[in-house]
Amino acid sequence: MSQEDWLNRVQERERTDEARIMHLEILLEGQAISHVGLRLREVWLCGCRTRVGSIGGVATEPEYRRRGLATRLMERAIRRIDEEGGDLMLVSGDRGLYRRLHCVPAGKIHRVRLSRAEAEGLHRPGLELKVAEPADFLDFVALYEKEPVRWHRSWEDFQWGLKHTPAPAWTPTNALLVRRKGETLGYLIVQEPARVERGRGQRAFLSEYAGVRSALLGAVSQLFTLYPVPELVFHVPAHDAEMLYLLADQGIASETSTLPGHTFKVINLPRLMERLEPYLQGRLREEERRELSFQQEGETFRLAAGGETLELAGGEIEPVIFGPPEGPGIPQSRPLPLGGGKLHSLLSKVFPLPFPWPGLDTI
Ligand SMILES: CC(C)(COP(=O)(O)OP(=O)(O)OC[C@H]1O[C@@H](n2cnc3c(N)ncnc32)[C@H](O)[C@@H]1OP(=O)(O)O)[C@@H](O)C(=O)NCCC(=O)NCCS
């Protein structure tokens, strides 16, 4: 049977479950043989709201691989995100399948590996770590909602996240509050280290934190009592200047990286920039704002101002907007063909945008 005839036998299905994950499937005789999971979420970026389609659970049954099924579903996911008002796509994965669809490494992150001795050096007396109980839930919400770059979480989203096994370790989470004299100052969400070994040495992962940075670091040594591991690994987004300052001040090194195991793509640039209008108004004079325009035709993106136009393809636009990826193994990006004119000057006033760390929102 030719590939074309075979493809005529399969059908596509879309269903949404109670956790609002959209399942895009290819069925053969009623059985799903290929799957892509998609969750549409809102993200707050510097006071503006944008929409992100998160992709996870990509799989094809072994006997049906290398026939283009996952590619077909990913192309469908890109269309569905656009139709559902999504501006960006974040893929929990980094491989040829996604790179061919012009997904690129996501975000600028500082990866910190904290040894037990370093954590002890950060210790501050009077801080207490409390294992969260259901009654503490609103403390988590109150701390998270004060973060300026974050995912919008409904009550159900947050509950789902706490029960879920997020990246980077994909193991169950333990939620801990950092308190002093009964006052809640922050939280640490730690992933179970037992299943994290995977031949890379034992370590615990901090998948999310929020609240007073100095209190979080002052309490982190207590995690080594709860988890008998030599090392704690966590990621600090490049825009978390306070956390990075405190770590550098204590002589704790970090390595620049991107969101581990993730890639992303701009789906709808004009809509993204429309939603970021208040941000643009804050950074540009009125006449500058009027001059700058963002257009898109398929996978061709046009940024224009002062008679200059910069035309970029899918995969090239992302480093302009969110900053070029940096880190070990990532080739240095070629300089952008921006010249030194008006367009360059305006773009450098507004970009890069901060990249939202998904934490509990990875799927
Ligand atoms: C990764 C995975 C989902 C790909 O599914 P798939 O349906 O085989 O994907 P596709 O057929 O669209 O593409 C896979 C490869 O087949 C190739 N291909 C597509 N159509 C083809 C055809 N007609 N003939 C030969 N090769 C073909 C593609 O070029 C692609 O190659 P590349 O990945 O080296 O660039 C599948 O291998 C899988 O389930 N793996 C285990 C789970 C997993 O790792 N999921 C991804 C998590 S990030």
pLDDT beyond 90 at 325: no
Domain with CATH 3.40.630.30 in the chain: 3-105, 109-257
Buried b (16+ CB within 10 A) or exposed e, 158-170: bbbbbeeebbbbb
**pLDDT digit string (tens) for 196-237?**
445 455 788 999 999 999 999 999 999 998 888 889 999 999
The 10s digit of each residue's pLDDT in 138-151 is: 999 999 999 999 99
CATH of domain 109-257: 3.40.630.30
- The C-alpha R_g of the chain, in whole angstroms, comes to 22
For ligand 1, say whether the CB of 20 is within 6 Å of any of its atoms: no
Second-level CATH architecture of 3-105: 3-Layer(aba) Sandwich (3.40)
Pocket probe for ligand 1: among 67, 72, 99, the residue whose CB has the most ligand atoms within 8 Å is: 67
How many angstroms is it from 65 CA to the middle of ligand 1?
6
The tens digit of pLDDT for each residue in 260-309 reads 889 999 999 999 999 999 999 999 999 999 999 999 999 999 999 989 99
pLDDT recorded at residue 327: 75
pLDDT, average across residues 37-56:
95
Q: Cβ(204)–Cβ(232) under 8 Å?
A: yes
Tell me what pLDDT residue 173 has.
Answer: 87
CB 216 within 8 A of CB 178: yes
> Cβ(67) to ligand 1 under 6 A?
yes
Q: Answer for the pair 109, 258: CB distance below 8 angstroms, yes or no.
A: yes
Closest CA to 288 of 307, 273, 305: 305
Among protein residues, the one whose CA lies closest to atom 38 of ligand 1: 59
| Rounded-to-integer distance, Cα 273 and Cα 293, Å | 9
Cβ of 3 below 6 Å from ligand 1: yes
Question: Which band of pLDDT confidence, cut at 50, 70 and 90, is reported for residue 191?
Answer: confident
Give 19's pLDDT tier (boundaries 50, 70, 90): confident
In short, whether 65's Cβ falls inside 6 Å of ligand 1 is: yes
Q: How far is the CA of 177 from the centre of ligand 1 (A)?
A: 42
Say if residue 59 is exposed, middle or buried (CB neighbours under 10 Å; 0-12, 13-18, 19+).
middle
pTM of the model: 0.92
pLDDT at position 232: 92
